[in-house]
């Protein structure tokens, strides 16, 4: 089942997937991010052919410490377990990168799960710094890209 489209959507469109995939077994409110209501925040959904959201991400203006370039950060990247490896996460992320570039970002970064290192590196991100822990998600690295025009 291929990705049929991506879109900038209201948070309500991606919330169920975000909660199910990234906060499995935790209360609903753990999937509400303070950035969801910040100015400049946008959410990306990647849809399958039936119109179901199978991939998502949330992007918001946030400077990367030590960098002068205007930056966006993302969090809440995820894809439904039954479609992992089929391009839904990559589609959501690349659509988000293009939208960040259109909004004037010079770089995009995240605190990404260590287990997703290969995914981020495959999409042109560089791992920076030391591994750290984010509760309740576990070990993370900072990933950064200035390659915002990925297709």
CATH number at residue 80: 3.40.630.30
Domain count, the chain: 1
- Does the pLDDT at position 13 exceed 50? yes
Output the pLDDT for position 148: 80
Which residue range forms the structural domain that includes residue 101? Answer: 3-145
For residue 150, is it within any domain? no
Model pLDDT for residues 88-98, shown as the tens digit of each residue: 999 999 999 99
Look at the alpha carbons of 39, 40, 46, 47 in this order and tell me if their dihedral is positive or negative: positive
Output the pLDDT for position 150: 58
Model pLDDT for residues 29-58, shown as the tens digit of each residue: 989 999 999 999 999 999 999 999 999 999
For residue 99, is it within any domain? yes
Query: For residues 18 and 37, is the Cβ–Cβ distance under 8 A?
Result: no
Average pLDDT over residues 58-80: 93
pTM across the whole model: 0.93
């Amino acid at each position: 089942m291929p990705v049929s489209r991506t879109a900038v959507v209201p948070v309500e469109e991606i919330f169920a997937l975000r909660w199910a995939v990234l906060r499995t077994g935790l209360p609903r409110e753990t999937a509400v991010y303070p950035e969801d209501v910040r100015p400049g925040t946008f959410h990306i959904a990647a849809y399958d052919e039936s119109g179901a959201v199978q991939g998502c991400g949330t992007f918001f203006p946030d400077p990367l410490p030590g960098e002068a370039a205007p930056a966006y950060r993302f969090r809440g990247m995820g894809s439904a377990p039954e479609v992992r490896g089929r391009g839904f996460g990559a589609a959501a992320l690349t659509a988000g990168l293009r939208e960040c570039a259109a909004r004037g970002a010079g770089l995009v970064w995240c605190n990404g799960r260590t287990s997703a290192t290969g995914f981020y590196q495959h999409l042109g991100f560089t791992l920076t710094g030391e591994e750290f822990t984010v509760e309740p998600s576990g070990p993370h690295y900072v990933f950064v890209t200035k390659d915002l025009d990925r297709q």
